[in-house]
Amino acid sequence: MERVKMLINGEWVGDFNSEWIEVYNPSNGEKLTEIVNAEHEHIDLAVSAARAAFESKEWQDFKPYERGQLLMELANYIRENKEELAELECLDVGKPISQARNDIEAAARYFEFYAGAADKLMGDSIPIENGLLDVTVYEPMGVTAHIIPWNYPIQITARSVAAAIATGNAVIVKSAEDTPLTTNFLAKWFAESKLPKGIFQHVTGLGAKPGSYLVSHKDIDQITFTGSVNTGISVMQAAAANVTPVTLELGGKSPNIVFNDADLDKAATGVVNAIIQNAGQTCSAGSRLLVHDGVREPFLNKLVEKFARLTIGQGIDDPDIGPILNKRQYERILAYLEIGKKEGSILFGGSAANVENAEGGNYITPTIIDGLSPDSKLAQEEIFGPVLTIFTFHDIEEAIKLANGTDYGLVAGVWSQDIDTAHYTASRVRAGQVFINNYGAGGGIQMPFGGYKKSGIGREKGFEALRNYVQLKNIAVKYGRD
């Protein structure tokens, strides 16, 4: 593929004097392309261009519904090019092509949803006293920075960019160095669109360089970041120096809670899908199973049978499980598996996997680990791979205690056919999303998504996300003849 240049102020930036970073196909290790490792001056140029575009009369004259119309055009463009985009996402991330296709449709839906919402974010009138009209209005933040992770690049770009542009902001997207291809594809549309230059810009490079420059820039008005807790803390610290508001989605250690009255077949399917999607490289992955001791043995037998039927392979061949993104992440997961062998019992998997004609890829056998302490690193830390840890409970209070027993609180699944059990559990679990008799893995364009505790700050998706990108202004008008 041709080198990926950055879109800054409507121009494609990157020359032979730039530092270039190689990008690889996780499925087989083959080189895909190269990206620019942006310098400080690139970020300064992007921020100043965004500021100029945001404050321009051309952009200020855009009516909300006109912003929505442009976002709808982008949604249509994504669907028209869905197969090419799905292949790029599959090559870049390594995920099965069917999952990549689902991601492309989700990206289109984000732009479609926020296109319809662009002219529907309204303020209020507040009754104060006769002769005083008091109203609230929402105004765009200004220049917003979007730091995109590598596991769902087109979805996460779409979900925040669509909301930010719908509310009238200028956006700068910094894609992950491993997965820039689909964001670059969207940048090509923005470069040819009717939007003013600088309203959408795409910069590339390492998080420690352009990413750090961007989040610490004094002229950024809002930051949306998805990634690890440690990096999220660094983003917050950098933003704090400029009192810049942040929206953070920092991962999870999400439980599926299976009660003894659950439909075990449906629950088993949900538990498996929740941990194998994108090879477990999902912030909302159901990485812990909490199972009632009354159904423990039959349920684990069902899980082992399902795991044994899973296929592993290159993303383009559409297996159940694709590769791990890179060598660093692969070795990290293997290190966790070694701990699991020492501290627990491997019910299935627990090792690297070999895939024919994909020697350069990094593959892990889907793994089930039992017998761990709830305080184990494997029970407490986000592994970010196809690794499921098992814990047994005796009653509902013990289940809730286990579910809440980590620093995370992103998603939870509750499997029970008893309405009292299901709703009581949902009310007590400290998680941003609770699924009853299903597990959406953060799915649902309209559903607010975010977490408690170290899973982050704020909510993305749904109508709620629009509030990340606006400021509330109160206006009081005195009227009357006196």
Query: How many whole angstroms separate alpha carbon 460 and alpha carbon 247?
Result: 8
398 three-state secondary structure: helix
Of 398, 442, 141, 192, the residue nearest 291 (C-alpha): 398
Q: List phi, psi (to 5°) of 191.
A: -65, -30
334 three-state secondary structure: helix
Of 20, 22, 21, the residue nearest 31 (C-alpha): 22
Known catalytic residue: 139?
Answer: no
The amino acid occupying position 156 is I
Residue written as token pair 């990096």 = 231
120 three-state secondary structure: coil
Q: Which of the residues 87, 89, 112, 283 is marked catalytic?
A: 283
The amino acid occupying position 414 is V
Helix, strand, coil percent content, the chain, rounded in steps of 5: 40, 25, 35
H or E segment at 229?
helix 229-240
Q: Are 326 and 292 in contact (CB under 8 A)?
A: no
H or E segment at 75?
helix 64-80
Return the structure tokens found at 316. 């383009």
Q: Are 451 and 249 in contact (CB under 8 A)?
A: yes
Angle made by CA atoms 445, 448, 454, in degrees to the nearest 5: 125
Q: List phi, psi (to 5°) of 124.
A: -130, 160
Residue written as token pair 């009354």 = 294
DSSP summary character for residue 463: G
Known catalytic residue: 249?
Answer: yes
Query: How many whole angstroms separate alpha carbon 290 and alpha carbon 292?
Result: 7
Query: How many whole angstroms separate alpha carbon 238 and alpha carbon 16?
Result: 31
Q: Which of the residues 87, 177, 249, 460 is marked catalytic?
A: 249
Distances (CA, A) of 321 to 5, 88, 179, 280, 362: 31, 18, 18, 9, 12
Q: Are 276 and 310 in contact (CB under 8 A)?
A: yes
Which residues are catalytically annotated? 249, 283
